[in-house]
């Protein structure tokens, strides 16, 4: 990927739109990319050492470029050793703060607080801001860091943090937040004493980052009851780490195989990271098998309605919701999809309705559990009735995961859809056009 605009401006406009002609079963073989939600945190973790670190299996996506640009601003030397291998080395943090230009860009700067406090004693990092899927506050992050002794001043677009030395603490998270868990682990590995995080997130991407930290010399243990214990150490060393495969990309491609009635083999896919996805896919009529290099997915019988409730790991992840909702528009009967992680993650369905899908939203909790949103006015349950023939449409992507959902809808629709907002999709999926073409999709790019 060639990037010539400053990193924080890369999100400003689409480089191109997609034209997708539906109706072709997708067949073939693709390689899974490294996980965006692991590698971006692992790049931050490299700030914890003054020694060089090498990450393998790094996806070439805008989000990675953004984090590398942030690191470069702090003084990190970045060298691509090959297409998917990057060496990052921060012998010295030359400036302890990130510019406000990164405010609202992504959720990575707030994860730098711990490493930068250890290296510099103070920092100002830009705030992530809300987005189209919900408010996404950072109160758990800040509360945990305060418990570890950080002095925090919240500004309009940034947070100013100081700490002579972070100290271990017992932190009970109100909800198993992925970002807050990662933030506190990154702060705790070099803190004085022991930190215990209860109700922590244990998503595979979190565990992959813990494995990397362990190779760097950190002492971290994960209990079966979601308790993570970190004994602070004096220093961490450089590391070589291979990034875990992206289970969101894999599930999205699996859904593409099933929705188009094709068969896609995904090298690098691992069953253990997809168990709850595979259960749902199979119940609706999909099937999978292990191959020499990964997993293959296909449709085994006509698709039928199922119920889904998103949840924290090992539950059905919220980022698998969009591809399966689109697939459920092609399933016989009424499916109920209860979103319990984000309050506002069904906005994208309005454009599916315009294509002919029957999707009704409700504020009620229609899953097995009454979730955190049960007395609030959030449309967080969808009833999807199918099968509905979809017609091609002009679609505008509102966020990353909805983006792949729209691609799937276009792949199964009659006619040619034009998709804009592709910058959101390309932020988190590596070469989506090339991969879909490789399995036979009729997808073209046209200038934006
Ligand atoms: N929450 C709070 N306060 C906090 C932190 C979280 O109320 O301080 C709430 C959130 O508002 C949300 C819930 O807790 O309702 C879970 O949020 P979490 O912190 O787990 O999400 P995150 O760390 O911000 C990561 C991924 C998301 C993924 C979620 C859940 C990254 C960069 N993002 O977000 O991925 O959906 O975990 O697994 O890792 C994506 O890749 O498109 C994406 C949105």
* Per-residue pLDDT tens over the stretch 13-40: 899 999 999 999 999 999 999 999 999 9
Distance of CA 384 from the midpoint of ligand 1 (Å)? 25
The residues annotated as belonging to the active site are 131
pLDDT at 46: 98
Q: Which of 63, 179, 405, 423 to mutate to test the pocket of ligand 1 (most atoms within 8 A of CB)?
A: 179
DSSP output for 49-66: -SS-EEEES----HHHHH
Ligand 1 atom nearest 107 alpha carbon: 32
Is residue 7 scored above 60 in pLDDT? Answer: no
Q: Ligand 1 centroid to 200 CA: how many Å?
A: 12
Please choose from 142, 177, 345 the residue to mutate so as to test ligand 1's pocket, defined by most ligand atoms within 8 A of CB: 177
Q: Which residues on adjacent β-strands are paired with residue 418?
A: 19, 394
Query: CA-CA distance, 362 to 247, in Å (whole number)?
Result: 28
Nearest to 433 by CA among 389, 399, 403: 403
Distance 341 CA to ligand 1 centre (A): 8
Residue 257 backbone phi and psi in degrees, to 5: -65, -45
Closest Cα to atom 39 of ligand 1: 37
Q: Dig out the tokens for 378 from the structure.
A: 């959030």
Q: d(Cα 29, Cα 36) in Å, to the nearest integer?
A: 21
Token representation of residue 406? 């729209």
Q: How far apart are CA 179 and CA 194, in angstroms?
A: 20
Separation CA 320–CA 204 (nearest Å): 14
| 3-state secondary structure (DSSP) of residue 347 | coil
pTM score, two decimals?
Answer: 0.96
Question: What confidence tens digit (pLDDT) does each residue in 62-118 have?
Answer: 999 999 999 999 999 999 999 999 999 999 999 899 998 999 889 999 999 999 999
Residue 308 Cα to ligand 1 midpoint, Å, equals 19
């Amino acid at each position: 990927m060639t990037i010539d605009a400053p990193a924080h401006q890369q999100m400003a406009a689409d480089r191109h739109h997609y034209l997708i002609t539906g109706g072709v079963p997708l067949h073939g073989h693709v390689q899974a990319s490294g996980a965006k939600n692991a590698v971006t945190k692992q790049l931050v973790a490299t700030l914890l050492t003054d020694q060089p670190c090498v990450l393998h299996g790094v996806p070439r996506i805008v989000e990675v470029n953004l984090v590398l640009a942030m690191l470069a601003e702090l003084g990190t030397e970045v060298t691509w050793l090959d297409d998917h291998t990057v060496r990052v080395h921060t012998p010295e943090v030359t400036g302890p703060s990130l510019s406000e230009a990164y405010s609202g860009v992504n959720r990575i700067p707030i994860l730098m607080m711990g490493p930068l406090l250890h290296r510099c004693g103070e920092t100002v990092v830009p705030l992530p801001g809300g987005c189209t899927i919900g408010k996404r506050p950072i109160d758990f992050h800040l509360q945990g860091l305060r418990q570890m002794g950080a002095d925090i001043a919240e500004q309009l677009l940034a947070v100013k943090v100081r700490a002579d030395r972070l100290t271990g603490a017992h932190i009970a998270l109100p909800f198993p937040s992925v970002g807050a868990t990662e933030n506190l682990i990154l702060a705790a590995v070099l803190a004085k004493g022991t930190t215990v995080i209860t109700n922590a997130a244990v998503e595979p991407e979190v565990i992959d980052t813990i494995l990397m930290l362990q190779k760097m010399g950190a002492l971290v243990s994960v209990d079966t009851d979601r308790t993570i214990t970190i004994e602070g150490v004096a220093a961490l060393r450089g590391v070589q780490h291979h990034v875990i495969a992206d289970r969101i990309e894999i599930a999205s491609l699996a859904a593409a195989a099933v929705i188009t009635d094709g068969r896609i083999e995904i090298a690098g896919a691992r069953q253990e990271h997809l168990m709850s996805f595979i259960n749902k896919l199979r119940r609706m009529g999909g099937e999978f098998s292990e191959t020499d290099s990964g997993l293959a997915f296909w449709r085994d019988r006509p698709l039928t309605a199922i119920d889904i409730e998103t949840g924290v790991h090992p539950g059905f992840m919220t980022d698998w919701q969009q591809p399966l909702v689109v697939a459920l528009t092609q399933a016989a009967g009424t499916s109920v999809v209860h979103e319990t992680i984000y309050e506002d993650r069904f906005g994208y369905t309005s454009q599916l309705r315009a294509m002919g899908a029957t999707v009704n939203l409700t504020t009620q909790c229609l899953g097995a559990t009454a979730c955190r949103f049960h007395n609030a006015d959030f449309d967080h349950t969808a009833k999807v009735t199918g099968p509905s023939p979809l017609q091609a449409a002009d679609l505008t992507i509102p966020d990353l995961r909805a983006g792949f959902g729209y691609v799937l809808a276009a792949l199964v629709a009659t006619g040619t859809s034009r998709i804009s907002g592709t910058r959101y999709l390309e932020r988190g999926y590596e070469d989506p056009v090339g991969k879909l073409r490789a399995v036979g999709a009729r997808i073209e790019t046209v200038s934006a």
